[in-house]
């Protein structure tokens, strides 16, 4: 057999494998994603959700694949439409994903310029739209009363600007059986890149000018009484680390099947209190800090633990199952192969182990993608 014949057969076999996605049966699940933080039409804050759903061949009740620019409720940047969640929006929905409610803001010179100047100077911004109000939380609570449904919540639905309506913030925390006291954490590869307002807060608290650089962890506390400000700040520098970066560690729960036991996670995460004695509530994954004993002493002085919940499941009998991601997990935007290529998630997972690739790849394909896939599969079969 000639060499080009062999090559043609290999190309045919490989191509046939990748395009078998089109031959896979579709699976119907009515899903609604709520995303009130869509400042640009890249749909970054919920794109990752729909990629997983489409790759697994999930469709809406009409048999159509989900579209990132259409199948969500919230802010629509092209039309500037602002949507409010109602009971009617939840009719027939099997899976409700509350992805991001930080909101849309009026930036004096535009979002790009704001982000470029954020580490170097104070900038005033005005909230245009965002957060949940009491009526929306009442609709979500009513939706949660039915057993055959699943609700996924994610950072920052309790925080600003939702906490400006304390009843709404408290209602959501009750729904997911957690307590949020305002503490947030984030890893930075270079502390000098943190927002300027954090540097100002550092000066107010510690009485010295900001002069930190290099990798580090930032712990900052929102004033959840409704004042819309930050009241405390702790900085952990790299020389206080005992590992390279924070990780999300998994338990052996079935919803985490296929996820790596430890995945680096470098973005925002909430420090939540969970009643571990509640038999209807369980912590499925933890956020582990890369810090040594000296740093832990500084955190303990503020009542902060060395590890805290990253994924919580609350399943009260006879009601909707609730799953909460304490990090901004869906807001990941690694380069994605088309979802309609068979095995594209597995290929990306394989390459994510290679050195030199962004750590966001590892978190998305080694942890978030398999976990969200498990939840979608679970929602499909839940009666």
| List of E strands, 178-280 | 178-188, 216-222, 230-237, 247-250, 262-264, 269-274
> Within a domain: residue 8?
no
What is the DSSP pairing of strand 72-76 with strand 307-314?
A: unpaired
φ and ψ at residue 299, rounded to 5 degrees: -75, -40
Angle at 45 between CA 316 and CA 123, to 5 degrees: 115
Q: Output the six-digit token pair for 323.
A: 């799953």
Total domains in the fold of the chain: 1
What is the DSSP pairing of strand 150-154 with strand 321-325?
A: parallel
Neighbouring CB atoms inside 10 A of 94's CB total 18
φ and ψ at residue 353, rounded to 5 degrees: -80, -15
> Within a domain: residue 10?
no
* Mean pLDDT of the region 215-220: 95
pLDDT at res. 11: 44
> Within a domain: residue 14?
no
> Within a domain: residue 13?
no
φ and ψ at residue 195, rounded to 5 degrees: -60, 145
* CA atoms of 304 and 296, how far apart (whole Å): 8
Q: Is the pLDDT of residue 7 over 70?
A: no
* CA atoms of 360 and 266, how far apart (whole Å): 8
**Quick one: pLDDT band at residue 365, thresholds 50, 70, 90?**
confident
* CA atoms of 310 and 248, how far apart (whole Å): 7
* pTM of structure: 0.92
Write the pLDDT tens digit of every residue in 219-272.
999 988 766 678 899 999 999 999 999 999 999 999 999 999 999 999 999 999
CATH number of the domain bearing residue 234: 3.40.50.880
| List of E strands, 166-238 | 178-188, 216-222, 230-237
SS3 content of the chain, % helix, strand, coil (to 5): 35, 25, 40
pLDDT at res. 256: 96
What range defines the domain where residue 31 resides?
21-381
> Within a domain: residue 4?
no
> Within a domain: residue 183?
yes
Give yes or no for a contact between 193 and 119, defined as CB atoms under 8 angstroms apart.
yes
pLDDT at res. 324: 98
Cis before 146? omega within 30 = no
> Within a domain: residue 16?
no
> Within a domain: residue 7?
no
* CA atoms of 366 and 350, how far apart (whole Å): 9
pLDDT at res. 203: 94
Reference 159, options 272, 78, 235; nearest CA is 272
Helix (H, G, I), strand (E, B) or coil at 289: coil
For residue 331, the Cα-to-chain-centroid distance in whole angstroms is: 5
Write the pLDDT tens digit of every residue in 139-187.
999 999 999 999 999 999 999 999 999 999 999 999 999 999 999 999 9
Angle at 324 between CA 314 and CA 240, to 5 degrees: 120
């Amino acid at each position: 057999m000639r060499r080009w014949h062999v090559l043609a057969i290999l190309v045919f076999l490989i191509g046939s494998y990748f395009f078998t996605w089109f031959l896979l049966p579709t699976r119907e699940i009515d899903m609604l994603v709520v995303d009130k933080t869509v400042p640009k039409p890249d749909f970054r804050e919920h794109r990752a959700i729909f990629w997983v759903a489409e790759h697994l061949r999930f469709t809406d009740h009409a048999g159509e694949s989900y579209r990132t620019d259409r199948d969500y409720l919230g802010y629509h940047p092209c039309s500037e439409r602002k949507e409010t969640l109602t009971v009617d929006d939840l009719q027939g929905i099997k899976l409700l994903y509350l992805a991001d409610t930080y909101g849309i803001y009026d930036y004096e010179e535009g979002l790009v310029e704001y982000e470029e100047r954020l580490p170097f100077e104070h900038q005033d911004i005005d909230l245009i739209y965002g957060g949940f109000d009491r009526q929306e939380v009442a609709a979500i609570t009513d939706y949660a009363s039915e057993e055959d449904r699943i609700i996924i919540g994610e950072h920052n639905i309790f925080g600003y600007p939702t906490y400006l309506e304390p009843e709404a913030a408290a209602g959501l925390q009750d729904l997911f059986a957690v307590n949020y006291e305002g503490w947030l954490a984030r890893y930075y590869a270079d502390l000098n890149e943190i927002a300027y307002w954090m540097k100002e807060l550092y000066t107010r608290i510690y009485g010295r000018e900001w002069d930190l650089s290099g990798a580090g962890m930032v712990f900052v506390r929102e004033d959840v009484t409704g004042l819309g400000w930050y009241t405390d700040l702790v900085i952990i520098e790299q020389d206080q680390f005992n590992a390279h970066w924070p990780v999300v560690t998994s338990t052996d729960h079935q919803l985490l099947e296929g996820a790596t036991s430890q995945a680096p996670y470098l973005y925002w995460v909430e420090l939540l209190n969970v009643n571990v004695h509640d038999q209807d509530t369980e912590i499925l994954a933890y956020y582990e800090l890369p810090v040594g004993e000296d740093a832990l002493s500084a955190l303990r002085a503020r009542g902060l633990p060395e590890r805290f919940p990253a994924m919580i499941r609350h399943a009260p009998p006879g009601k909707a199952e609730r799953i909460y991601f304490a990090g901004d997990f869906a807001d990941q935007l690694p380069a994605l192969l088309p979802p309609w290529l068979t095995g594209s998630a597995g290929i990306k997972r394989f390459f994510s182990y290679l050195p030199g690739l962004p750590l966001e790849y590892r978190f998305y394909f080694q942890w978030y993608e398999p976990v969200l896939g498990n939840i979608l599969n679970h929602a499909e079969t839940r009666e």
